[in-house]
Structure formats: structure tokens, C-alpha cells
Amino acid sequence: MKKDRLNAEFCNCNVIHEDVVNRVSEKMPEEEKLYDLAELFKVFGDTTRIKIIYALFESEMCVCDIAALLGMTQSAISHQLRVLKSAGLVKYKREGKIVYYSLDDEHVKNIFDQGFVHINHKYMY
Amino acid sequence: MKKDRLNAEFCNCNVIHEDVVNRVSEKMPEEEKLYDLAELFKVFGDTTRIKIIYALFESEMCVCDIAALLGMTQSAISHQLRVLKSAGLVKYKREGKIVYYSLDDEHVKNIFDQGFVHINHKYMY
DNA sequence: AAAACACATGAATAATTGTTCATACGATAA
DNA sequence: TTATCGTATGAACAATTATTCATGTGTTTT
């Protein structure tokens, strides 16, 4: 009975298909890339941030306008804009007292469109 | 000084650009769609699940093999496969004692590819 | 100068969530 | 049948996180 372990890592069960595991293991992207990808999707995994991004698809907006649009406090929006900013998804420019936020990535729309394809496909059954 | 509120929702700041807010408001997708989209991305927002999906890009796999590949317990993998399954992202087939999981959505790859575009673009600066 | 406004931010709280542990289920083997 | 194996799952725990509240910063206005 085989008791192989891959990468000397702890695992409480046997490897059933060693060939498959080895082949897939070689094809896996770098750990760091996968981590970064998960971090990016984590940013998209919140309704408020999704709404902010959709709003910014249409127009650059200041914090107060976004807060009014979404019916949320200025503080909550500001906190979320910070998350979006550190993820490199939005940028801002200051004009007097007002700070205008806009999208800083032209690929986000594509990601969301593909996401909708999945959602809509799911509901056809 | 204007004190408008949109949609009769509470918001602790003034609407500065009423025209922009109204125009963007009309263009926003349905609340439910945005919620579903966030839920989908939430599933992608975990390194373990990202790894599982990448593994399944290459080959269908049983639970033990995935656990060995990722160096994690069978229980942890099984819990995550449950999440992926209820999101409509993976399907399974049973053969005796062994359960084989495989991808159930051909669009996921596109979403991830676009995600990588963002990540790689970000690191060029 | 002080007051008002737009926005940012630290701390606290509540809610969500990933993993572990123990155990149960379903199928095969002895 | 009993034992074993592959998998599923509920409960518990730790860690993360979204919002609120209070307050601070920077800019304009009076």
C-alpha cells in the first residue's frame, strides 16, 4: 500500500494517482502568483466595492457622491476606496476640498463581464 | 447649500454633483446581480480554492490527490470543494470509493487570465 | 483668525470564514 | 460481518474584515 507524500508536506491521506499529481504539480503557477490572484479577487468579493467600481465605470466621482449614490456613510466609502487604491484599482486627484476617484485599470471590466457570463449561465438551469 | 439625498437613503454628506449621481444611478446594474457577482469573486478570493481550480484546469482529480498536491488535510480540501460545488464551479463523479472532481465552467479560465493581466500590469511600475 | 466642509483614519464591534478535530457515511475488501 | 479506505460534515476556534463612531487633516470661506 502506497504512502507517498508530495513535497514532504503533511497530508493525512494516500496519493492514489501519483502520475496525475506529479504532472499537475509541474503545471501549477508560482505560489506567489496564486496568492496575488486570490488577493485581487478578495477585493472584488464585497458588494460595496463592486458597486463603487461599477459607478466608476460610468464616471469619475467624489467620495460624497459615491456615498450618496450607494446610501452609505462617507466613512465606509472612504475605507473601501482605500482598499481599492492599495490594490491598484482606482486612482484619485484632489481639486480643492474635493477628491475625485476614477478607475486605474482597463481590464477590470473584462473580469466582471466574464463573471456575469458565469452567473447568467448558472441561472439557465 | 444643497442637502439632497438619493433614494431616500441615509447618507451623512451632501450631494455635490447631482447630475453625475443621477446619471450613474440609472446605469447601475441590478442590486441582485452585483451581489451575485461579489459572491462569485468571494469564492475566488481564497488561495486554497484558487489552487484547487488551477489543479483542475489540468486534470480531473480525486480529493486525496488534491490534498497531497497542496499539502493540506483531506478535510480542508473537502470543505473547499463543497464551496466550489455550490458556486457551480466544479462537478463530481463517484467511482467506487473515489470521488473525482472536475471543472464545471469554461469561463473561469478567462476570468483568471484577466486577473493575471492586472497583477502583471501592476508590477511593471 | 475661526468656522465649515470634504475626506481620511484609528479603534471597537459584529459578522464572516478557513482550518482542525472528531465523527459519520458509503463503498470495497477481508 | 467486520475492517478499512475515501470522502463528507458538524462543531469549535482563530483569524479576517466591513461598518460605525469619534476624531484628525487639509482646504476653502467668512
Give the model confidence (pLDDT) of B86-121 as tens digits.
Answer: 999 999 999 999 999 999 988 899 999 999 999 987
* Mean pLDDT, rounded, for A2-14: 51
* Residue A23: pLDDT over 60: yes
Q: What is the pLDDT of residue A15?
A: 79
Q: Which domains does chain A have, with CATH numbers?
A: 46-122 (1.10.10.10)
Residues of B in Cβ contact (< 8 Å) with A122:
88
CB contact under 8 A, A115 and B111: yes
Residues of B in Cβ contact (< 8 Å) with A64:
13-16
Give the model confidence (pLDDT) of B22-39 as tens digits.
Answer: 999 999 999 999 999 999
Residue with smallest Cα–C1' gap to D4 = B97
Q: Decide which of A96 and B105 is more confident.
A: A96
Q: What is the pLDDT of residue B13?
A: 80
User: How many CB pairs below 8 A link A and B?
Assistant: 213
Distance CA A87, CA B3 (A): 33
* Residue B8: pLDDT over 70: no
Q: How many angstroms separate the CA of residue A103 from the nearest CA in chain B?
A: 12
Q: What is the pLDDT of residue A4?
A: 39
CB contact under 8 A, B62 and A13: no
Other beta carbons within 10 angstroms of residue B108's beta carbon come to 23
* Residue B124: pLDDT over 70: no
Give chain A's largest Cα–Cα span. 73
Q: How many angstroms separate the CA of residue B52 from the nearest CA in chain A?
A: 10
Q: What is the pLDDT of residue A102?
A: 98
User: Which of left, alpha, beta for B13 (phi over 0: left; psi -120 to 50: alpha)?
Assistant: beta
* B34 close to A50: Cβ distance less than 8 angstroms: yes
Beta strands in B19-116, from DSSP E residues, in sequence order? 61-62, 90-95, 98-103
